[in-house]
Amino acid sequence: MKLLFLACLSPKTGNHTTAERIRSHIESAGHTCELRDAAEFQSPAEVANLVSQNPPFEGALAIHLYRAGRLLLDIQVPFGVIFGGTDINEDVKVEQKRVVMEQVLLKARFAVAFTSKMKEEAEFFLLSQSSKIYVQPQGIQTEVKEKFCWTEFLRSSGVSMEHVDELRVFLLVCGLRRVKDPLYLVEVFSEWHCENPLNVLVIIGPKIDPALTVEVGAVVQSRGLHGPGEEPTGASCCREKVLRRGQQLCLGGHVSSHLGGHGPRGARVGQGHSRECSCSAA
């Protein structure tokens, strides 16, 4: 089967990672899957023309009902859609977008939600199509490089090693950008850390928004937290010292839940492909 797959493919985002993972799975099952960025198309008519090309596509798939699913409304082949967080958290609040999303859901052969809560919210905000919505949690696969040392990773992140076996490490994997702003978490968690220094938060992810990266650094400094083994000399400097000491991890899958764990074996991570990871210890 030849499938068209539309998604928002901004670099270093969860959507991109998820789309590549699904595309790989479809192709491993023996199908042809052409993954395209939804931003390439201006209207459903353009996608309809693409689908009807020779040889034609036999089906389609999209991540996000509004951002990508709306582009499938004019095609004459069956298609499925996958809910994204933006669908339920943002787009349903805009009446014009909500109407379009309902049209997409009505025409779709099926819809996938990654959590039961997301399905419940979709049924609440959109026209009830519960029989079409299937819950399919995302898998998380964790692989560590052979030379990776958890203790050294924590030490290089500025974490006190005095009671390393008793640490409760919470690992947050996210690109530093405004829509995924971790500042509120840093501020609250730092208070918890001050009450009990064994509670440690580590943030790993690419610096998508440089301005926000500096802002996070300012919060880290203001809380008296600093990079590995040296006092901070400025907000951005403090943050950059931590970022440069990030370890290279091999992370497979995509984050599908709050990432937390107890000790080195309890941390759960997501995000596909090897990359230089940045980290900040709170």
Flag whether pLDDT at 270 surpasses 50: no
CATH class of 2-135: alpha beta
Task: Count CA atoms within 13 Å of residue 275 on its CB side.
Answer: 21
Return the bridge partners of 34, or none. 4
**Which residue would you say has higher pLDDT here, 182 or 80?**
80
Question: Does the pLDDT value for residue 224 go beyond 70?
Answer: no
Mean pLDDT lowest among 133-137, 165-169, 178-182, 211-215:
178-182
pLDDT of residue 102: 94
pLDDT band of residue 114 (cuts 50, 70, 90) is: very high
> What one-letter code names the amino acid at 42?
Q
- Of the chain, the percentage scoring pLDDT greater than 70 comes to 73
Return left, alpha or beta for 133; rule: phi > 0 is left, psi -120 to 50 is alpha, else beta.
Answer: beta
| pLDDT value for 118 | 92
Q: Classify residue 108 by burial, with Cβ atoms within 10 Å: 0-12, 13-18, 19+.
A: buried
Closest to 132 in 3D by CA, of 95, 78, 187: 78
Residue 251 reports pLDDT greater than 70: no
Range scoring the smallest mean pLDDT among 22-26, 155-159, 241-245: 241-245
Q: Where are the domains of the chain?
A: 2-135, 140-281
Evaluate if residue 255 carries a pLDDT over 80. no
The pLDDT of residue 223 is 61
CB–CB of 125/90 below 8 Å? no
Q: Is pLDDT of 49 > 70?
A: yes
Gap between the terminal Cα atoms of the chain: 49
| pLDDT over 90 (residue 101) | yes
pLDDT beyond 70 at 226? no
